[in-house]
Amino acid sequence: MAQQGIQKTQAQQASGVVQYGKYDPSVSQEEQGFFASDLDFLKLSVGDNVVRFLPPPVGWDRPYVLVKQHFIQADGMEKGFSVVCARQMARERCIICEKISEFKAMGNDIQYQLAEKMFARARAFANVIDRRNPELGPRILAFGKTVFEQLSKIAADNGDYCDPETGFDINITRVGTGQQDTKYFLIPRGSSLLGDLNWIAEATDLSKFAKIDSAEEIMRRCGDLFAPRQPARRMPGPFPPGRQLPAQPQAQPQAQPQPRQPAQRTVADDMNDTFPKGY
Ligand SMILES: [Zn+2]
């Protein structure tokens, strides 16, 4: 206490006025988006976020795209990433679904938990204008089931919210920041014009979020997940022989030592940087 008193006295003595600014902690919340890897994504702040959904592109009948995707974060991965589920989106072979089945069949807790984390979950992507930063133009809002359900109810009760002339903004209130305790509450605002019609042409092509990667690309990104296991290093444990090393013929190329390729960022990376899993 005495120390603080001395410092204050010295600062005041320097010129008679306080020679420093005052930090308003509330600005840091708004600045969080600055650190997102891709500013095209809108990260909802705690509190109110007023957004305007852009209308669907020509030929579409809805302003969002719905995607079933796996979230992958295996041991040793610094951060996870998303993979569109080929089985649920296109009825094609999905190597992540196959990996989930394999892990579940192994019957131990660790693999089962990993499998559970990888189950495909639904997400939606839409072009919106952040009314707080309209100068940034259209941005991508990624959202899950709770936001989607409220949005659908607003559409049913109040009509086409994304019409540029007769639509309306929507206030999304975010409460909490954790994976488990974050909640969203949507409230329609009064009817208003979209504003700049050029935004419609500037919108992101949402179909890219539903793009299905090749099995090779997915395996490359998954790294260890598809490499033959090395139980001696990872699990010096009591696994019965035969459970440890399911042969993965398609994974053989991954096992060869090869120079690490520079990571190629994808949409899924960007999304995961911006939106924590479970969002
Ligand atoms: Zn799948």
Residue 80: pLDDT band (50, 70, 90) is confident
Expressed in angstroms and rounded, the spacing between residue 35 Cα and the centre of ligand 1 is: 30
Q: What is the dihedral of CA 114, 119, 120, 125, to 10 degrees?
A: -60
Reply yes or no on whether the pLDDT at 216 is more than 60.
Answer: yes
Expressed in angstroms and rounded, the spacing between residue 40 Cα and the centre of ligand 1 is: 26
Q: Quick one: CA dihedral 219, 101, 97, 150, positive or negative?
A: negative
Encode pLDDT of 122-131 as tens digits: 999 999 999 9
What is the mean predicted confidence (pLDDT) over 63-79?
A: 87
Q: Please indicate whether residue 199 or residue 178 has the higher confidence score (pLDDT).
A: 199
The pLDDT, as a whole number, for residue 254 is 47
Backbone angles phi, psi at 175, to 5 degrees: -125, 125
pTM of the model: 0.68
- β-strand pairing of 138-143 with 81-84: unpaired
Expressed in angstroms and rounded, the spacing between residue 145 Cα and the centre of ligand 1 is: 18
Reply yes or no on whether the pLDDT at 207 is more than 90.
Answer: yes
Q: Are 96 and 83 in contact (CB under 8 A)?
A: yes
Please, which residues have CB within 8 angstroms of residue 3's CB and are 6 or more apart in sequence?
Answer: none
Name the region of 194 (left: φ>0; alpha: ψ -120 to 50; beta: rest). alpha
Reply yes or no on whether the pLDDT at 279 is more than 50.
Answer: no
The DSSP code for 75 is T
Expressed in angstroms and rounded, the spacing between residue 87 Cα and the centre of ligand 1 is: 5
The pLDDT, as a whole number, for residue 16 is 73
Question: CA 134, CA 178: separation in Å to the nearest integer?
Answer: 27
Expressed in angstroms and rounded, the spacing between residue 226 Cα and the centre of ligand 1 is: 15
Question: CA 275, CA 244: separation in Å to the nearest integer?
Answer: 34
Expressed in angstroms and rounded, the spacing between residue 207 Cα and the centre of ligand 1 is: 18
Encode pLDDT of 162-177 as tens digits: 999 999 999 999 999 9
Reply yes or no on whether the pLDDT at 270 is more than 60.
Answer: no
Average pLDDT, the chain: 79
Residue 138: pLDDT band (50, 70, 90) is very high
Reply yes or no on whether the pLDDT at 72 is more than 80.
Answer: yes
Of 262, 267, 264, whose CA–CA distance to 212 is shortest?
267
The DSSP code for 29 is H
What is the mean predicted confidence (pLDDT) over 201-223?
A: 91
Question: CA 205, CA 198: separation in Å to the nearest integer?
Answer: 15
Expressed in angstroms and rounded, the spacing between residue 249 Cα and the centre of ligand 1 is: 19
- 195-198, long-range: CB within 8 Å, 24+ apart, which pairs? 195/52, 195/129, 195/134, 196/134, 197/164
Expressed in angstroms and rounded, the spacing between residue 237 Cα and the centre of ligand 1 is: 30
Give the Å distances, CA to CA, from 176 to 39, 181, 257, 277: 22, 6, 44, 14
What is the mean predicted confidence (pLDDT) over 238-254?
A: 47
Expressed in angstroms and rounded, the spacing between residue 119 Cα and the centre of ligand 1 is: 8
Expressed in angstroms and rounded, the spacing between residue 202 Cα and the centre of ligand 1 is: 31
Reply yes or no on whether the pLDDT at 10 is more than 70.
Answer: no
Encode pLDDT of 13-53 as tens digits: 556 778 888 887 766 655 544 444 455 899 999 999 999 99
Q: Please indicate whether residue 56 or residue 16 has the higher confidence score (pLDDT).
A: 56
Encode pLDDT of 231-241 as tens digits: 444 444 444 44
Residues within 5 Å of ion ligand 1, judged at the Cβ atom: 85, 87, 94, 96-97, 120
Expressed in angstroms and rounded, the spacing between residue 168 Cα and the centre of ligand 1 is: 36
Q: Picking from 18-27, 49-58, 59-68, 211-220, which range would have the lowest pLDDT averaged per residue?
A: 18-27
Compute the half-sphere exposure of residue 181: CA atoms within 13 Å on the CB side of its CA: 5
Expressed in angstroms and rounded, the spacing between residue 69 Cα and the centre of ligand 1 is: 7
DSSP H helical ranges for the chain: 2-15, 26-31, 86-90, 95-106, 109-118, 145-158, 198-202, 215-222, 231-234, 252-255, 267-274
The pLDDT, as a whole number, for residue 78 is 76
Beta-carbon neighbour count of residue 163 at 10 Å? 15
Beta-carbon neighbour count of residue 100 at 10 Å? 21
Expressed in angstroms and rounded, the spacing between residue 70 Cα and the centre of ligand 1 is: 7
Reply yes or no on whether the pLDDT at 58 is more than 50.
Answer: yes
Q: Which fold has domain 39-226+265-274?
A: Replication Fork Single-Stranded DNA Binding Protein (3.90.198)
What is the mean predicted confidence (pLDDT) over 170-199?
A: 95
The DSSP code for 134 is G
The pLDDT, as a whole number, for residue 110 is 84
State in Å, rounded, how far the first CA of the chain is from the last one: 44
Query: Taking the mean position of all CA atoms in its chain, how far away is CA 131?
Result: 21
Expressed in angstroms and rounded, the spacing between residue 83 Cα and the centre of ligand 1 is: 8
Expressed in angstroms and rounded, the spacing between residue 276 Cα and the centre of ligand 1 is: 20
